[in-house]
């Protein structure tokens, strides 16, 4: 069976998901490394995590609608969008997990 064209929102929001997954990790590194950014995030909505979450969600929807209007569905197929999503999640996840790795001191666990 010949594949039908990809839906524009599937392509647009898929790309937004991939980009926002990486952006989420970048925001994390910036706020943890920069006190001024951390204070600003805390001041905005009372807790840095709350503000971080709102930024991520808003960026996802804004990028989703922008990418959906860019006719990505004519350039990409579902496989490629899935590939971008998986890589976005892997890169975002690896940055997040890697950034906190120095905090992972398991000596206490081994003792017990």
Residues that bind another protein (CB under 8 A): 1, 3-4, 7, 9-10, 13-14, 17, 20-21, 24-25, 28, 46-47, 49-50, 52-53, 56-57, 60, 77-79, 81-82, 85-86, 89, 92-93, 96-97, 100-101, 103-106, 108-109, 111-112
Cα separation values, 54 from 3, 43, 44, 45, 84, Å: 37, 14, 11, 9, 23
* Residue 108 CB, nearest approach to another protein (Å): 4
What DSSP designation does 5 have?
P
Taking residue 82's Cβ as centre, other Cβ atoms within 10 Å add up to 13
* Residue 3 CB, nearest approach to another protein (Å): 5
The answer to whether the CB of 7 falls within 8 A of the CB of 64 is: no
Give the residue with the Cβ less far from another protein, 40 or 46: 46
């Amino acid at each position: 069976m010949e594949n039908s064209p990809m839906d524009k929102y599937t392509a647009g929001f898929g790309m937004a998901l991939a980009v926002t997954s990486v952006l989420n990790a970048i925001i994390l590194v910036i706020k943890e490394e920069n006190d001024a950014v951390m204070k600003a995030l805390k001041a905005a909505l009372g807790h840095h995590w709350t503000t971080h979450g709102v930024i991520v969600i808003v960026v996802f929807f804004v990028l989703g609608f922008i990418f959906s209007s860019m006719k990505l569905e004519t350039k990409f197929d579902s496989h490629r969008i899935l590939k971008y999503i998986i890589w976005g999640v892997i890169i975002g996840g690896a940055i997040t997990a890697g950034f906190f790795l120095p905090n992972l001191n398991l000596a206490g666990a081994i003792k017990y």
